[in-house]
Each structure stands twice: as structure tokens, then as C-alpha cells.
């Protein structure tokens, strides 16, 4: 057996360079590069190996460990999980910073490889700098915290352990059923230790991502249920994107006249303009989709996890005879909602189910209901898009008190814009060769309802973990994946403040991204949630502290985000009206460096829920004043009423 003597870190780099995936006969490299922030836990080990011979791995310098890992998550997501970027950090705070992004990856079933440095396997210098010491277990380090948020975890305590660790890592990273974050902790002394690795460890490995074919039994059982139903609906989830099954889904829906609704992850798998596509469903869904859901007697979930936002906390479907059929490559997800499950790749499942239903001459019983629901939603869209601030009055949008909107608008001399109108303007501007990304706050809800696109895979929303700070980092990851497309990060001021470090990396790398920052001076989505359930505005607006009262209810903070961008070397714009917004969008598209467009938007001008309910922990009792007490009691009663109908599984 031939061997090659390498340090563990050198062997790791060599191994990563030889990993490939094959899907539908197309073979391509799996690990395209590695994000790094070097520290004492990885710089002279893995850092030395990357400096000496990175092979074809492109090395990127991150600014914040969470930010660079979120970029890697977005990169893999935009590549439909067929390519990844690895991430390495030092031991201690650097490793801990990656935990949030690891959770983002795992919640969304997106592959990302994490290579944090670790304490010494020999324990000779203990406690090494940044080491956490636990009296009950000397083997614990910061990296053990990754166990809760990763699909696979290992620690390479001897150089030869790298082989089994990495083979298992690749198994999970390329597993469509159960992928997510993988953490391989690398003790810093072991990174530099040499071992005679067998040459076969470094052979070209092709990991086949195969389409899981449904069993005959699963198809027959699903068909027997479907043919008894008259008002079915489809939920298009992220699995449709990853399977590249958009065309198969449309063909299926057309054959049997079944309306399609979308999750955040499934949006842009098919065209928004298709007559059967009613758009977003659930808590952040629109009126058309949710009207159809109310009366549906069958829900066909394709590649969806049935999160609480999709299912309206399992209370969206009001037909007492509603049943569920799922097509999902993961048996775990396929069995949700006590569904009749077809465990299969989305495309293969749809084709097989379609053929079987054709043999039974099945057709839904819809006549004009789909068109009528779409028409009602179009009327509401027209209203939302026509909203404007006039004579000190803001028409109701989100269903909450507009006094805050008035105050904010007066602060900016009547020049703040309604959020719904801003989104339409941006949506109308972006036609092709673009990707828009979002993650948290009120924007995901507004975008799932309002955003329309016929551009495949142009809508990139992280809503499995709804991680604030993903937006700008994710935009960088998308740009690396799609260098020829314009990438637009839709971000609120709250998320921007939380994490925008990789904006600097985009400038360093010459990877132009466009940040569209909607500033409503607060965590507007959560402010709506608390006020809509009887609370006052508490700790969710960005105000100066009122020294007279000691409370955070002073004047709104005024922050110039465009100047922050300019300070980094980007192009900044501060717009005050729709004409300036149009001009900024046009000019930003011409730039070769990253841009940021700051847009002041009136609080309370985001959209509200449509015939949906979200289960949150509403107070059962309160000592507050009578008006607030009445609202809290109303919210609690609504919760109890919905829980009687909501499914418990």
C-alpha cells in the first residue's frame, strides 16, 4: 500500500480537493473553497496547509465567523445543495460565532462544512488561551456546543482519525434526506502532526445524489386517497427547488386542475405568473392562497417541512375532512401532519403519482374558485400599492395604530415611504438576471405575499431559522455562486445593525452586492406582534432613552446608513421619494462595487396576516389597564379557539 506523509491539515486540504458530486449525470466539484478567519487555533495548522498548497480551493477572508458561515450557507442553497464552501475558525469565540450559522444550515437542511480549531489533544498546555474548563468533564470544549445544531459532529484527536471523520462528513453533506451542518473539530496540535496516509484516501470521490423512486405501495395508497377528494391544493416547498422539479410540478397541477401555493423556500421554483400559482400560503401567505386553504379537502405537500408559518400553526385548514398527502425524500418530513406519504424525490414522486392519477381519470372539482380567489387578492394588492402618506394620515395596512407612522414621517418631514409601495417599485425594476435575498423581520412576510417573479431561483429566503443578519452575508454567498447576476439583499435596519460584516468582504473580493435597507427605526415585525396582542410598544423601537421617565420612549434615533456604506468604500444612496428610488436603482445597477440604498419607510406600513393565525405564548392574565387587558384577553381567547381546531401532530 502506497502512502504519503502529510500533516493532518495538509491531508484535509488534499482530500477536500478531490470531492465531486454527480446528479442527473452531471459531475462537478463539491467543495469550491473555504472561508477563513485565522487565529491561534488554526493559523499555523490548517492555515499553513492552505498557504502551502490550497489546490483548487479558493480561500476567502471572512470578517465575522457567523457572517462568513452564513455566506457559505447561502452559497450552498443557491447551488441547490450541489456545491459547498467550507469554513474554518480559531478555537473559542471564533468557533462559538459559527454556531448560529450552523443552526441556520441545519434548520434549512443546507450542507455546510465547519472546521473549527480546538484545544490541545495532548492537554499539555491546558488551559490554553480561550479554553473553557469544565470541572466535570475535561474533554469538553466550545466545539461541543455544535452537537445540538449539526447533523454530524466529530473531533479528530489523532491524525489517522481524519479519514473516517471526513468520509462520514461527506456522507451527510451529500445526503438529500438528512443534510445540514457538519462540524469536524480540529485540535490545534493534531493539525500539525504528520501521518503516513494511504494514497487511496485522496482518490477522486464521486458522491452520487440519486433521485429516490417511490414505491408502488406509496403511490397506490396516495392515489386511493386523492381520487376521493374534490378540492385539493398543492404546497410547493424547497424540495421542489433542490430536485429541480418545477416543470414536473406545473405539469401535475395542469393535468388535474389543482391550485399551487408556495412556501418561502419554494418560491421561484415555478413562475409567479402561472394561472394556477396563487403564491405564498400560511401566516405570511396572501389572501388568495389562504382562501383556497380554508376549504381544501386535501393538501398535497411537495418538498415541504410544514413549519408553523406554512400551516398557520396547524390551524390553517378549516375543512374538518381535510387530509394530507406528502412527497418528500425524507421519511421524517413525509410523515408530518399524519400524512399519506410518498417517500421520494419530488420530481420522481410527481411523475409517478401523475401517471397513476391519469389512469384513474382524476380531475379536481374546481370551477371558478381559483380565479375568484386570485381576483380578490389582486384587489387587495391594488389597495396596498396605492397607500401614501397624506395630510397626516396613514391608511390602515398592518391593522395597528398609525400614530407611530405619523411621528416617524414627521421626523423625516413627510418623506418616509410606505413599505408596500417601495417593494412594488423594486419588484417592477428587477426583471431578469437577478437574485433577491431576505431572512427576517417584516420583509419576508411582505415579500412572500407581494413579490412576483418568473425568473427561476431568483427568490432566496432563509425562513427555516429566520436568522437576522443572514441577508448581507447571504448576498455575498449568492454572488460567489452567481457572479453574472445582480444580487439584492432586502434588509431592515434591525438586521443590518445585527450583522453586516461581510459587506466589507464583498468589497475586498470585488463581488458586488446591492443592499436595499428599509429603515423603520426598530424591530418593526416584533413591534407589530406585541402591539397586536395587547402589549404596548416595549423595547422594539430604536429610540433614545427618556431621562425624565427612565424609559426607552424618547425620540427616534436618526441613523445615516448610506454614510456607513460610503465609509467602507461602497456607493451609498439615501432616497426620499419614489423618483429618487428609481434613480438610485438604475445607478446602482451600473456600479462595479457594492452599493447600499437607504430607504426610510413608515412603521406600520407592512402587510398583515390574511385569514391565518400564528400560535404565540399570549398572556392568560394581566394587571394592565382595562383597554389593554381587553385586547390581551381577546388574543388569548383567539388562541384557545384556534387550538381547538389545530392539529396536534
What single string gives the DSSP state of each residue in 331-363? Answer: HHHHTGGG-EEEES-HHHHHHHHHHHHHHTT--
Q: What is the pTM assigned to this prediction?
A: 0.96
The answer on whether 65 is annotated among ligand-binding residues is yes
d(CA 317, CA 292): 9
Tens of pLDDT along 456-477?
Answer: 999 999 999 999 999 999 999 9
**Residue 177 known to bind ligand:** no
pLDDT surpassing 70 at residue 389? no
Q: For 174-232, what is each residue's pLDDT tens digit?
A: 999 999 999 999 999 999 999 999 999 999 999 999 999 999 999 999 999 999 999 99
3-class SS letters over 35-80: EECCCCCCCCCHHHHHHHCCCCCEEEECCCHHHHHHHHHHHHHHCC
The pLDDT value recorded for residue 391 is: 54
Give the contacts of 524 (CB within 8 A, at least 6 positions apart). 441, 442, 492, 494, 540, 603, 604, 606
Tell me whether the omega of the peptide bond preceding residue 127 falls within 30 degrees of 0, making it cis: yes
Q: What is the pLDDT of residue 396?
A: 53
617-638 pLDDT, tens digit each: 888 888 867 667 888 888 888 8
Residue with cell 480540529: 186
| DSSP E strand stretches across 356-465 | 434-438, 459-461
Q: What is the pLDDT of residues 422-433, one digit of tens each?
A: 999 999 999 899
User: In the chain, what percentage of residues exceed pLDDT 70?
Assistant: 97
Give the pLDDT of residue 549. Answer: 86
Cell triple for 187: 485540535
- Residue 244, pLDDT > 60, answer yes
Domains 3-209 and 392-600 share a fold: yes
Q: What is the CATH number of domain 216-377?
A: 3.40.50.1220
**SS3 for 148?**
helix
Tell me whether residue 49 is exposed, middle or buried, using C-beta atoms within 10 angstroms of its C-beta: 0 to 12, 13 to 18, 19 or more: buried
Closest to 287 measured CA to CA, from 209, 372, 406, 407: 372
Fold of 392-600: Rossmann fold (3.40.50)
> Mean pLDDT score of the chain, rounded to an integer?
94
pLDDT for 402 equals: 59
The predicted structure's pLDDT at residue 395: 53
In this predicted structure, which of 392-401, 404-413, 615-624 has the lowest mean pLDDT?
392-401
Is 210 among the annotated ligand-binding positions?
no
Give me the pLDDT at residue 123, please.
94
* E strands present in 80-151: 84-89, 112-118
Which residues on adjacent β-strands are paired with residue 61? 36
Q: What is the pLDDT, as a whole number, of residue 530?
A: 85
- Cross-strand pairs, 390: 393
**What pLDDT, on a 0 to 100 scale, did the predictor assign at position 387?**
79
* pLDDT of 88 over the 70 cut: yes
Residue 602 has pLDDT above 60, yes or no: yes
**94 in Cβ contact with 60 (< 8 Å):** no
Q: Is 501 a residue whose pLDDT tops 80?
A: yes
CA 465/CA 100 separation, integer angstroms:
9
pLDDT of residue 401: 52
Domain locations in the chain as residue ranges? 3-209, 216-377, 392-600, 617-648
Specify the range with the lowest mean pLDDT, choosing from 13-17, 119-123, 402-406. 402-406
- 253 falls in which pLDDT band (50, 70, 90)? very high
pLDDT in tens, 502-519: 999 999 999 999 999 999
Q: What angle do CA 519, 414, 587 make, to 5 degrees?
A: 55
The mean pLDDT value for 481-498 works out to 97
Asked if residue 582 lies in contact with residue 503, where contact means CB atoms within 8 angstroms, the answer is no
pLDDT, mean of residues 363-378: 97
Write down the pLDDT at residue 124: 94
Ranges 218-222, 548-552, 564-568: which has the least confidence: 548-552
Average the pLDDT over 49-75 and give the result: 98
> What is residue 632's predicted lDDT score, i.e. its pLDDT?
86
Write down the residue that cell numbers 460565532 correspond to: 97
**CB-CB neighbours of 313 under 10 Å:** 21
CA dihedral 188, 194, 197, 199 (to 10 degrees): 110
Please write down the long-range contacts of 383-391, taking CB distance under 8 Å and 24 or more positions apart.
384/420, 384/421, 384/450, 384/607, 385/420, 385/421, 385/424, 386/421, 387/418, 387/420, 387/421, 387/605, 388/418, 388/421, 389/414, 389/416, 389/418, 389/602
Q: What is the pLDDT of residue 293?
A: 97
CATH placement of domain 3-209: 3.40.50.970
506 grid coordinates: 464583498
Which residues, at least 6 apart from 528, have a Cβ–Cβ distance to it below 8 Å?
Answer: 398, 400, 442, 604, 606
Taking only the tens place, the pLDDT of each residue in 312-332 is 999 999 999 999 999 999 999
pLDDT digits (tens, 9 = 90+) for 296-312: 999 999 999 999 999 99
Residue 626, pLDDT score: 66
* Mean pLDDT across 239-266: 98
Q: Please tell me the chain's helix, strand, coil percentages from 3-state DSSP, rounded to the nearest 5.
A: 40, 20, 40
CA 244/CA 69 separation, integer angstroms: 25
Amino acid at each position: 500500500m502506497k502512502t504519503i506523509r502529510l500533516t493532518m491539515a495538509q491531508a484535509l486540504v488534499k482530500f477536500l480537493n478531490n470531492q465531486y458530486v454527480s446528479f442527473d449525470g452531471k459531475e462537478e466539484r463539491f467543495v469550491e473553497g473555504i472561508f477563513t478567519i485565522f487565529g491561534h487555533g488554526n493559523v499555523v495548522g490548517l492555515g499553513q496547509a492552505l498557504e502551502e498548497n490550497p489546490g483548487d480551493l479558493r480561500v476567502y477572508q471572512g470578517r465575522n465567523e457567523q457572517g462568513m458561515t452564513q455566506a457559505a450557507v447561502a452559497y450552498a442553497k443557491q447551488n441547490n445543495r450541489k456545491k459547498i464552501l467550507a469554513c474554518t475558525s480559531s478555537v473559542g469565540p471564533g468557533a462559538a460565532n459559527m454556531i448560529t450559522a450552523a443552526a441556520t444550515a441545519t434548520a434549512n437542511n443546507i450542507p455546510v462544512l465547519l472546521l473549527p480549531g480546538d484545544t490541545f489533544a495532548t492537554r499539555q498546555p491546558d488551559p490554553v488561551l480561550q479554553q473553557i474548563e469544565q470541572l466535570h468533564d475535561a474533554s469538553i470544549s466550545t466545539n461541543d456546543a455544535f452537537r445540538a445544531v449539526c447533523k454530524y459532529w466529530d473531533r479528530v484527536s489523532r491524525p489517522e482519525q481524519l479519514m473516517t471523520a471526513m468520509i462520514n462528513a461527506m456522507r451527510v453533506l451529500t445526503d438529500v434526506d438528512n443534510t445540514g451542518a457538519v462540524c469536524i473539530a480540529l485540535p490545534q496540535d493534531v493539525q500539525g502532526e504528520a501521518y503516513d496516509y494511504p494514497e487511496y484516501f485522496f482518490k477522486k470521490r464521486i458522491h452520487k445524489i440519486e433521485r429516490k423512486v417511490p414505491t408502488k405501495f406509496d403511490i397506490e395508497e396516495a392515489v386511493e386517497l386523492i381520487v376521493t377528494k374534490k378540492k385539493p391544493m398543492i404546497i410547493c416547498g424547497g424540495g421542489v427547488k433542490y430536485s429541480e422539479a418545477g416543470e414536473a410540478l406545473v405539469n401535475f397541477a395542469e393535468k388535474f386542475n389543482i391550485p399551487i401555493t408556495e412556501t418561502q423556500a419554494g418560491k421561484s421554483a415555478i413562475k409567479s405568473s402561472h394561472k394556477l400559482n396563487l403564491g405564498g400560503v400560511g401566516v405570511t401567505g396572501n389572501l388568495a392562497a389562504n382562501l383556497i386553504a380554508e376549504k381544501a379537502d386535501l393538501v398535497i405537500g411537495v418538498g415541504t417541512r410544514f413549519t408553523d408559518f406554512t400551516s398557520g400553526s396547524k390551524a390553517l385548514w378549516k375543512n374538518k375532512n381535510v387530509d394530507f398527502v406528502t412527497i418528500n425524500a425524507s421519511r421524517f418530513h413525509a410523515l408530518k401532519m399524519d400524512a399519506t406519504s410518498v417517500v421520494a424525490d419530488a420530481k420522481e414522486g410527481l411523475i409517478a403519482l401523475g401517471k397513476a392519477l391519469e389512469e384513474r381519470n382524476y380531475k379536481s372539482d374546481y370551477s371558478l374558485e381559483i380565479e375568484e380567489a386570485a381576483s380578490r387578492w389582486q384587489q387587495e394588492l391594488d389597495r396596498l400599492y396605492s397607500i401614501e402618506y397624506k395630510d397626516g394620515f396613514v391608511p390602515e395596512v398592518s391593522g395597528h395604530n398609525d400614530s407611530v407612522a405619523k411621528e416617524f414621517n414627521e421626523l423625516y418631514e413627510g418623506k418616509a415611504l410606505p413599505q408596500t409601495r417601495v417593494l412594488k417599485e423594486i419588484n417592477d425594476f428587477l426583471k431578469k438576471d437577478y437574485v433577491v435575498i431576505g431572512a427576517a423581520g417584516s420583509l419576508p412576510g411582505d415579500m412572500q405575499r407581494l413579490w412576483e417573479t418568473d425568473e427561476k431561483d431568483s427568490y432566496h429566503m432563509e425562513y427555516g431559522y429566520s436568522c437576522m443578519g443572514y441577508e448581507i452575508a447571504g448576498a455575498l454567498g449568492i454572488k460567489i455562486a452567481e457572479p453574472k447576476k445582480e444580487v439584492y439583499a432586502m434588509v431592515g435596519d434591525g438586521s443590518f445593525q445585527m450583522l453586516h460584516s461581510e459587506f466589507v468582504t464583498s468589497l475586498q473580493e470585488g463581488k458586488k452586492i446591492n443592499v436595499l435597507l428599509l429603515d423603520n427605526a426598530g424591530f418593526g415585525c416584533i413591534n407589530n406582534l406585541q402591539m397586536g396582542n395587547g402589549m404596548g410598544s416595549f423595547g422594539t423601537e430604536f429610540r433614545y432613552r427618556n431621562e425624565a421617565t427612565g424609559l426607552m420612549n424618547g425620540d427616534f434615533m436618526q441613523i445615516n446608513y448610506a454614510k456607513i456604506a460610503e465609509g467602507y468604500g461602497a456607493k451609498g444612496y439615501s432616497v426620499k421619494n419614489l423618483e429618487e428610488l428609481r434613480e438610485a436603482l438604475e445607478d446602482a445597477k451600473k456600479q462595479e462595487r457594492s452599493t447600499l440604498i437607504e430607504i426610510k419607510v413608515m412603521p406600520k406600513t407592512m402587510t398583515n396576516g390574511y385569514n391565518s393565525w400564528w400560535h404565540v405564548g399570549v398572556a392568560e392574565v394581566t394587571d394592565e389597564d382595562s383597554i389593554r387587558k381587553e385586547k390581551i384577553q381577546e388574543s388569548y381567547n383567539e388562541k384557545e379557539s384556534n387550538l381547538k381546531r389545530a392539529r396536534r401532530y
